[in-house]
Amino acid sequence: MTQLTNLAAQYATLIYLALAVGLLVAIYMAFRLQINFLWLNFWYSIPVLGKLARLARNTSRGSIAGWLRAEETLCGDYRKYIMAIAESEFRKRLNYLRKAEDLGRKPLPGWMIVVLIVLLIAEGLGFALSARYVAGA
């Protein structure tokens, strides 16, 4: 028994490393879909060198009429992360959105545009006055 204990003590680092690798593999297998989705988002979001930046430079036509090859690639990459639901479940969710009055985007009303312009002007005047008093003028 002491030989086994001595052997385990000698190879403790190797044993811990094997346990850590096993734990990482188990975590990856449990959350594979989420990790792969985050990884895909990461590679698409890198400016200049990312996949989206490369696809933006590709203007060749795809196999679907009216689509670019870049659009087909983008949709194909994200297709495996879209989960389809049953029509009854979709109808339930649609009914909830209808009751919550959040069924879609509506154009901004004209009076709201006027309110936003007034608020923008008031904000600009507020910053101008505060800068004037901070400067001691």
DSSP the chain: -HHHHHHHHHTHHHHHHHHHHHHHHHHHHHTHHHHHHHHHHHHHHSTTTSHHHHHHH---B-SSTT-BHHHHHHHHHHHTTPPP--HHHHHHHHHHHHHTT-SS--PPPHHHHHHHHHHHHHHHHHHHHHHHHHHT-
User: Residue 67 CB: number of other CB atoms within 10 A?
Assistant: 12
User: Residue 52 CB: number of other CB atoms within 10 A?
Assistant: 14
What contacts 43, CB < 8 A, 6 or more positions away? 50, 51
Tokens of 44: 């698409």
Q: 61 or 24, which is more confident?
A: 24
Strongest mean pLDDT among 10-14, 57-61, 75-79: 75-79
Confidence of residue 58 (pLDDT cuts 50, 70, 90): confident
Confidence of residue 48 (pLDDT cuts 50, 70, 90): confident
Q: Does residue 132 carry a pLDDT above 80?
A: no
Q: Does residue 136 carry a pLDDT above 70?
A: no
Q: 65 or 89, which is more confident?
A: 89
Vertex 123 angle, CA 117 and 127, to 5°: 150
User: pLDDT for 21-43, tens place per residue?
Assistant: 999 999 999 999 999 999 999 99
Q: Tell me which of 25-29, 58-62, 91-95 is least confident.
A: 58-62
